[in-house]
Each structure stands twice: as C-alpha cells, then as structure tokens.
Amino acid sequence: MSAQLLTYIFVGLTFALYIAIAIWSRSASTKEFYVAGGHVHPVANGAATAADWMSAASYLSMAGIIAFEGADGARYLMGWTGGYVLLALCMAPYLRKFAKFTVPDFVGDRYYSQAARVVAILCVVFISFTYIAGQMRGVGIVFSRFLEVDIDLGVMIGMGIVFFYAVLGGMKGITYTQVAQYCVLIFAYLVPAIYISLLLTDVPLPMFGFGSTVNDGSGMFLLDKVDGLSQELGLSVFTEGSKSTVDMFFITAALMAGTAGLPHVIVRFFTVPKVRDARISAGYALIFIALLYTTAPAVAAFARLNIIDALDDRAYQTLPDWFSKWEDSGLLAWVDKNEDGRLQYRGGAALEPVKPQYLATRGLSGERELANSPTTNDNEVYIDRDIIVLAHPEIAQLPNWVVALVAAGGLAAALSTAAGLLLVISSAISHDLLRNTLARNLTDRQELRWARVSAAIAIVIAGLFGIYPPGFVAEVVAFAFGLAAASFFPVILLGIFSTRMNREAAIAGMLSGLIFTASYIIFFKFIAPELNAPDHWWFGISPEGVGTLGMLLNFVVSLLVMQVTPPPPQEIQDMVRNIRVPR
C-alpha cells in the first residue's frame, strides 16, 4: 500500500479513537471539566502530562534542531526535562494540597489580591496562545505534506477534533485522550528510531545505538564517523557547540524554570487524588518524557549521517521522490552553484536570504528555481529543520507503514498539547476571570457553560493562528518560557517556601520580572533585530536566556519589598503552613 493511503488509515484510526474516548469521558461538573474530578491515576496522569508537555516542538522540531546544532541542542534536552525536578520537588505536591483548579487561583488566593489574580490571568492567556500558534503550524505541516490536503483544511480538521473532545470532555476527556495520544506518539517516535538504529549500528535501542560502533565494517564509533564526515564537508562538528557557556547556562535555566512555571503543566497536578500521587506522578511523567528525549539526540545523529549520505554529491535527477515532495512543500531547496547537476551539501547557508523564495520556473535539472541570490560558499542545499523527523524514515528508506506512523504521531503530539492549552485558557476565562473576578454569583452550571463557550472561542482563535500564522511564531516561543520563568516560577516558589511573602512583594516581583524580560526580548527581536548579537547582549545572554535574569530580578525585588511591607494576614500564613503538610 502507498504511504499516503496508510497515512489516511492511521490518522483516521487514531482520530476515531480520540473521539470514542471523548464520548466515553464527558464532563458533567466544573470539577470534572477543570481537574477531571481529581480522580486520575498517577500513571495515567504521568502519561497525560507527557503528551500535554511534548508538543509539535518536541516531536517535530527538536531532533531536527539537534541534527543541525549538535551539542548546543543540549539546552533543550536538559532544559525541558530538568524543569520536572523543580516541579516534582518544589511545586507539584504543595499545589495539589492547595486543591483548587488553576494557577491564577493559587496566585490570587495566596496573595489575597485581585490585582495579582488578574496579572496571572493575563500571563496564562498570553503564554498559552503563544504556544498554540506553534501547534497549529505543526498540524498544518503534517496534513499538507502527508495527506496532500490544503494546510487550511488540515488545520480545520485538527480544530474540529480538538473542539469535540475538549469542549465536550473538558479536563476529563482531555486527560484520557492524552493518555492514548502519548501511546501513539511514543510508538511512532520509537519505531523509526529503533529501525534506523538497527540499520546503522545493529543496536536496537537508539539511546545506546548512537554511542556504539557503526556496522559498515570500519569499527568506528558512530559519533566519530559523524564528526569526521561533518568536518570533511565543513559542517559544524556534531559533538561540539558554538554557543558561549554563559548563554547555554542561562538558556537552560530559563527553560527549566519556565517548564516548572507553565500553567498547562502545573494544572495537571491538580488532577490526582493525593499529595503522594502528585509526587510520583511527576516521576512517571518524566520517565515517559525521557523515553523521547533520550532518543531525540540519537535520531539527530543518525539523521545527520543519513542526510549526508542521501544528498551529498548526488545528481538531482537520481534523487528519490521525497526530495521533490518536500521541495514542493517549500521546505527543501537546491541551487546548482557550480552547475554540475549534483547536490553539494556543505557548511554555511546556501541562500541569501536564508529561507527559499521560489519562482514559478524550473531549472535545468528540473529543480524549483529561486529568487534568492546564492551565497559565496559551496553549500547548495537548504533544509528546513522542521522536516527532519518527518522526512527521516523516507530518507532512510524505511517501509511505508513507518512513514505513515510518523505522521499520526506528529498529529498526536500537536493535538494533545493544543487541547491542554485550550483548557487552561478556557478555565482562566470562565473560572478565574468570570467566577472569581467579574461575576462572583455564577452557579456551577453557568460556569460550566461559560467554560465550554470560552474553550470554543479559544479553538477558533487558535485555528486562525494556524491558517494565518504570524511570522513571529519562533520568536515568541522564547517569550512563553521567559515570561513563565520570570513571573510564575518565583511567585509560586516563594508563596510556598516563605510564610512572610506578601501581596506587595508578589506584585512588585511579577511586574519587574515581566517588564524586564518582555522589554529585553521585544527590543532584540522586534525593535532592533540587527543588534541581536552577542556583542550587544547584557553579560552575553541572548533573548532566549533572559528569562533567567528576569527570574533573578523577580526574586531580588520580592525579597526586598517583603522586608519593608507588612506580613500577610494570619489566615494566609496558616494556609501556607497547611499546604506544606500532606495531611
């Protein structure tokens, strides 16, 4: 069967599964809608957290980024897993004991302040929408390439599915769908990785395979072969980084603190029955995540090898048809600089500007011609990083069913994350903004209706982001993490670990962290992008890593303001003492 037919079958089957789960697990009360009734088993919550967390970025983009950047990719590997240690040790058990529904709930109650609650609501909505935009792009890429459906139609199908189970099922529906989506996505990620690991090294587990010798009879370690070939072609050395140590440190720290402060992750720990379950559930979540995260760098190393093998010095006319398909999708390009009809894959950007701008005409070998001017280096190939995971099975000539599986996994990753974020947005509006701020006399049934309405509106907005993607999606992701690190993380941490921490300190801390981080990112990304280089950064810290600086500022301001303002009321101090003890 063709890969396309198989993709239709796999995607159709998984979608049918998600819908069946949604019908089985409808939510009847706000408690079910927001926190699945608080009855989720810790293993199920771990799997749901993993699917919620691992987005299109983890599934589609991360291995691709590592394939190109090598050692620098460690900032994502460590940043997006190390945050779980902070979550498990410093936040999850205490927030579970607090036993409310949302992050603004905690901020508003702990700091006895509606102003703090509103700041928290704004942050939640901004962070979540930023994130959703990226998921919808992921859905669009998978649909357009594998099902040869128009991107817009693909996004609408994705929206329809999420609409069905998020609006109907709320957190309960989302949780059990996410468990299924985790199984789909991890299976789809591991199967091709194991396959390729066997092909290259004879070792089945990819996380060990990429530390083994290649099976071409040379007895060389795989990574040594990758490094050697890369050096020959003038590509960056895979096991060495080019980012400064300071920048790596700050970016990794921002991603960790950001992970621990992301509302859609935190809220998952409200869904388990006990404090003890919240602790162990973070552990299960990290095991499930680590399966993909320890595989990703192996996939990256394999991909670097396979790409060089498949492309370098090949005649365009003899390339397999995946090349022209991705070329048609606008994610691959070739410019025949030396006019030999063959691809030279070397270091440096092939085109100026970097992203290809296609003309309607075809070149001598049949390639799509470009409006870009060729650069002076020898590299002739442009490869978009986002296609590595999706294209790798084809590049490595794996069977069609594996190719189809990867597409279904990509959709599972993007949809599960989108649904989790939509729920956070809807609860921020119906619960935090309406019930707790604007319309305090809402009944449970009215609130539930509002929760569904706001989820529906949020889906439509998210879909529009997918159909008309703002050009700055990649730029704003740094925003989401930076803001979470500079706002929620310190405020929640101090709220648990200091009984003296008060309203004034929290608001001053959040505002200074937010304003500082936002201005730094906006300045370098939007106002003066031409200055966005290490020479101009403060202490050599890039906008990606500035959330760490914002977080430190938040801590310092909070601790200072705390000294000169009155302590919180006695009942708040008692509440803090109470959440520290499981019983």
Partner 1 sequence: MSDPSGLDPEEQEQDAAVQAREQKAYWRANITTLLSLLSVWFLVSFGCGILWVDALNAYQFFGWKLGFWFSQQGSIYTFVVLIFVYVLRMNALDRRFNVDEGQ
- Tell me how many helices (H) and strands (E) the chain has: 24, 6
CA separation for the pair 440, 157 (Å, rounded): 36
Q: 491 to each of 29, 503, 574, how far by Cα in Å? A: 30, 10, 18
8 Å CB contact between 550 and 485: yes
| Window of 146-154, 167-175, 203-211, 543-551 that interacts with partner 1 by CB under 8 A | 203-211
The nearest distance, CB 343 to partner 1, in angstroms, is 29
The residue type at 21? I
* CB of 287 or CB of 364, closer to partner 1: 287
The nearest distance, CB 239 to partner 1, in angstroms, is 5
- Candidates 93, 134, 409, 545: give the one binding partner 1 (CB under 8 A): 93
Angle, helix 488-497 to helix 103-110, in steps of 10 degrees: 50
CA separation for the pair 26, 240 (Å, rounded): 50
CA separation for the pair 353, 372 (Å, rounded): 6
8 Å CB contact between 357 and 407: no
Q: With binding defined as CB under 8 A, does residue 489 bind partner 1?
A: no
Beta bridge partners of 352: 373
Alpha-carbon torsion angle 91, 553, 113, 171, nearest 10: -40
* CB of 208 or CB of 526, closer to partner 1: 208
* CB of 275 or CB of 451, closer to partner 1: 275
* CB of 150 or CB of 240, closer to partner 1: 240
- Candidates 23, 28, 89, 528: give the one binding partner 1 (CB under 8 A): 89
| Window of 160-168, 177-185, 275-283, 447-455 that interacts with partner 1 by CB under 8 A | 275-283
Q: With binding defined as CB under 8 A, does residue 64 bind partner 1?
A: no
| Window of 249-257, 259-267, 355-363, 383-391 that interacts with partner 1 by CB under 8 A | 249-257
Q: With binding defined as CB under 8 A, does residue 59 bind partner 1?
A: no
Q: With binding defined as CB under 8 A, does residue 274 bind partner 1?
A: yes
Compute how many other C-beta atoms are within 10 angstroms of the C-beta atom of residue 472. Answer: 13
* CB of 148 or CB of 216, closer to partner 1: 216
Closest C-alpha to 242, from 348, 328, 382, 331: 348
- Candidates 155, 282, 343, 415: give the one binding partner 1 (CB under 8 A): 282
* CB of 253 or CB of 510, closer to partner 1: 253
Residue 99 CB contacts under 8 Å (≥ 6 apart), including other chains: 38, 270
Q: With binding defined as CB under 8 A, does residue 198 bind partner 1?
A: no
- Candidates 29, 294, 329, 377: give the one binding partner 1 (CB under 8 A): 294
CA separation for the pair 57, 481 (Å, rounded): 13
Alpha-carbon torsion angle 264, 270, 276, 281, nearest 10: -30
- Candidates 231, 239, 317, 373: give the one binding partner 1 (CB under 8 A): 239
Q: Please report, as ranges, the residues that interact with partner 1 according to CB under 8 A.
A: 66, 71, 73-74, 77-78, 81-82, 84-85, 88-90, 93, 207, 210-213, 221-224, 239-241, 245, 248-249, 252-253, 274-276, 279-280, 282-283, 286-287, 290, 293-294, 297, 577, 580-583
